[in-house]
Amino acid sequence: MPRKSQKNPNICPRCGTVVPSPKRTWQLVAPIPDSSGRITVTVMGAYECSSCNYKWRAVISKMKVGGDSIEIEGSKGKELRLADEEKESRKSTVIELDLREILEEE
């Protein structure tokens, strides 16, 4: 039976107590890119309730990296996208070297 997705991963699904932070976190990287060429990186967290000692795992955030954009989806369900200025600053410069010119200088 599939689990129901929870809006806030910091709330205990059994008793409703708010847990301030996960005991441990780790990253899962998707082996295959999506249709836009982006790789999905999922940050997971293992929680333990202080009142009822219930343990659960939940998605903390997801990032889609690569292609022309970066999307970050937080635990609150909001999607953040890079502004055009930030996209421009992320573009790399191409440096081309001609080996013939280097060998002529020697």
Q: CB 13: neighbour CB atoms within 10 A?
A: 14
Q: Report pLDDT for 77.
A: 45
- Tell me the pTM: 0.59
- Position 14 in a domain: no
Pairing status of strand 71-73 against strand 55-65: antiparallel
Is residue 16 included in any domain, yes or no? Answer: no
Inside any domain, residue 50: yes
Q: What is the pLDDT of residue 78?
A: 47
* Enclosing H/E stretch for 87: helix 84-90
> Is 34 domain-assigned?
yes
> Considering the domain boundaries, does residue 12 fall inside one?
no
Task: Give the tens place of pLDDT for each residue, 50-90.
Answer: 889 899 999 888 888 876 666 777 644 444 555 445 555 55
User: Is 62 among the domain residues?
Assistant: yes
b/e burial code for range 34-71 (CB count within 10 A of at least 16 → b): eeeebebbebbbebebeeeeeebebbbbbbbeeeeebb
Model confidence pLDDT, tens digit, residues 7-34: 788 888 888 888 888 999 999 998 888 8
Whole domain around residue 44: which residue ranges?
A: 24-105
